Amino acid sequence: MVPLIIPGVYSTTASYELLAAMIVILAILFVIIIKKTRRRLKIEEFPLGPRRPERN
């Protein structure tokens, strides 16, 4: 708790560590949400996908 009170390098490094932790947590949650939505979209989109390669 002391480095947060002291102004200067300690407070900036602590704030950067908090920002980095928040960014990492948000990125992990974002990836989990994308994976869950992709599983739902695969059932709906992939059978009717316009970019599906056609074999002649």
Instruction: Give the model confidence (pLDDT) of 32-45 as tens digits.
Output: 888 888 777 665 55
12 pLDDT above the threshold of 90: no
Question: Is 33 in contact with 26 (CB distance < 8 Å)?
Answer: no
pLDDT: is 56 or 33 the higher one? 33
Q: Which range marks the domain in which residue 18 is found?
A: 2-44
* 20 located within any domain: yes
Rg of the chain over Cα atoms, rounded to whole angstroms, equals: 22
Q: How many domains does the chain have?
A: 1
* 11 located within any domain: yes
* 50 located within any domain: no
The per-residue b/e assignment along 8-32, b for 16 or more CB within 10 angstroms, e otherwise, is eeeeeeeeeeeeeeeeeeeeeeeee
